[in-house]
Amino acid sequence: MDAKASVLLIDDHPIVRDGFRHLLQTTENFTVLDECGNGQQALKLARDKHFDLIVVDYALPDIKGPELVQQLKAISPMSKMVMVSMYDNDPFVNNAIHAGAMGYVSKRCAAEELILALESVTEGNTYLSDDVMKNLRFNKDYQHSGLPELTAREFDTFICLARGLGVKGTASKLDVMPKTIHTHRASILDKLKAKNDFELLQLALKHNLLTFAELVQ
């Protein structure tokens, strides 16, 4: 790289952003131009400035990572996106890549792998961290479950229904009309060959998409 690539860091945990910023400051190829803690702030920054690279946390408080990637790409189509997440399996990876992210890095991996990801996507390549690749390679049961066929919005609906929120609770959580959730639910049940929300819960637990602790929140 002839000049340092400008980076926007998006993560709702200041300590994580601080760690990423200090890491990138040790390199010759990247400079952190700005950082923020939620999707709305990120969209404003992307409208005001150009970033070569944008690092997006999957689980932001206001806008899910894949949806934010889509909105950012509409604003700044030349920016390249790398998703970071505690989740290192599908459908999280699948949703991120389909949304337009060129890289996906698990927060469980060594921090230096973020640099490898940024270097790779800067050169126009895709990058998946080692643990993500391992999970995708060996989780054949998941690949045949129907879950990879869910859209990002269907997956969010699936998780809410599996948690027992019901149609009205899911509609409130996702800020959409109950009629929309009914439509998504029908599609989800068809794709997953499930009969009811209890079977959705069983699938979510089986594939480690929910924990028992999340069910009582």
Band (pLDDT 50/70/90 cuts) for residue 1 is: very low
Other C-beta atoms lying within 10 Å of the C-beta of residue 182: 13
Tokens standing for residue 46: 């992307």
The DSSP line for the chain is: --SPEEEEEE-S-HHHHHHHHHHHHT-SSEEEEEEESSHHHHHHHHHHS--SEEEEESS-SSS-HHHHHHHHHHH-TT-EEEEEES--STTHHHHHHHHT-SEEEETTS-THHHHHHHHHHHTT--EE-HHHHHHHHH-HHHHTSSGGGS-HHHHHHHHHHHTT-HHHHHHHHHTS-HHHHHHHHHHHHHHHT--SHHHHHHHHHHTTSS-HHHHT-
Read off the pLDDT of residues 38-52 as tens digits, 9 standing for 90 and up: 999 999 999 999 999
Residue ranges of domains in the chain, CATH in brackets: 5-138 (3.40.50.2300), 142-215 (1.10.10.10)
- Given a contact cutoff of 8 angstroms between Cβ atoms, the answer to whether 65 and 57 are in contact is yes
Model confidence at 79: pLDDT above 90: yes
Chain mean pLDDT for the chain? 87
Residue where the block lists tokens 């002839």: 2
Assess contact for 101 and 81: CB atoms under 8 A: yes
pLDDT in tens, 104-161: 998 887 778 899 999 989 988 888 887 777 666 545 677 788 888 888 789 889 989 9
pTM: 0.66
Tokens coding 54: 């944008």
